[in-house]
Structure formats: C-alpha cells, structure tokens
C-alpha cells in the first residue's frame, strides 16, 4: 500500500509505508544506519517517535539523531548532509535533491508495482468488467 501501513519485522508491528520507504533509503545510503521506531510504551507522551541509529561493525550502537513524523522526508537529507566524507559547500542542496529523488523513485516504483498487480488481476479475471478504486475497467 502506498501511504498505508506495512509490517516491520524489526519493530514487530505495522508501521507507515512512508517511514518504511525512508528507512530503506537511509539503510541503502549507509548500511550502518537504521531508522528505528520507538514504541509508545518506551517513550513519554509527546516524545519523538523515530531515531536514526548508527550500528557500526565495530563498537556499540548509538542514536545519531531523533526524527519526528514531519521530519521523515528530510531524514535522508540530514544523513547525507552530515556525512563526513562530503566536504562540498553545496552538500545541503545536493543532499536534499538526492534524498527527494531517492524517495520519489521508491514511491514511483511502489505505484508501478501496484498498477502491475491490478493489471495482472484484471487480465486473470474471468469477468468482462472489473471495478477498482471507483473505476470500472472493461
């Protein structure tokens, strides 16, 4: 589902697909970084629900920074911008562009997969009319 929920095995719960896309993008950028959801029973009311965790191959893991629901889309840009291997003064602009492009590409891929699944279902159906999302396909 594009903007619904998906199962997250690490959290053991259903999480927003938006958060899942951002988590995948962050982990693809740097496999040592992970977006973690903090369950309500482990935080106070009003606390920030997400954290970017650094799990280095050697050493202990630690929280790199916290992310609110509204900041999810900019979390990847923040990771890229704070990457010490980048010293370009235009890093902030480039990071925002890379993050936006990556997340939009993931969303487009999900949309294409959903459209493909719908088309496959329609073609496999023995009906001569098929209704999905309020549209009738013949």
Per-residue pLDDT of the chain (138 residues; tens, 9 = 90+): 455 666 666 656 667 788 888 888 998 888 899 888 888 888 887 788 889 999 988 889 999 999 988 888 888 888 887 877 655 667 777 878 888 899 999 999 999 998 898 888 888 878 777 777 788 877
Q: What domain count does the chain have? A: 1
Q: Which domain holds residue 71?
A: 5-137
pTM over 0.75: no
How many CB atoms are located within 10 Å of the residue 20 CB? 20
How many CB atoms are located within 10 Å of the residue 78 CB? 19
**Dihedral sign from CA coordinates of 32, 82, 6, 38:** positive
Cβ burial, residue 23 (10 Å; 0-12/13-18/19+)? buried
């Amino acid at each position: 589902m594009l903007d619904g929920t998906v199962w997250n095995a690490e959290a053991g719960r259903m999480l927003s697909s938006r958060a899942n896309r951002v988590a995948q993008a962050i982990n693809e950028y740097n496999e040592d970084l992970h977006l973690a959801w903090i369950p309500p029973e482990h935080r106070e009311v009003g606390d920030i629900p997400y954290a970017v965790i650094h799990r280095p191959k050697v050493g202990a893991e630690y929280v790199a920074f916290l992310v609110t629901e509204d900041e999810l889309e900019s979390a990847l840009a923040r990771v890229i911008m704070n990457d010490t291997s980048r010293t370009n003064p235009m890093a902030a602009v480039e990071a925002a562009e890379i993050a936006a492009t990556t997340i939009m590409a993931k969303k487009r891929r999900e949309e294409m997969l959903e459209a493909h699944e719908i088309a496959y279902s329609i073609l496999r159906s023995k009906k001569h009319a098929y209704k999905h999302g309020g549209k009738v396909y013949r």
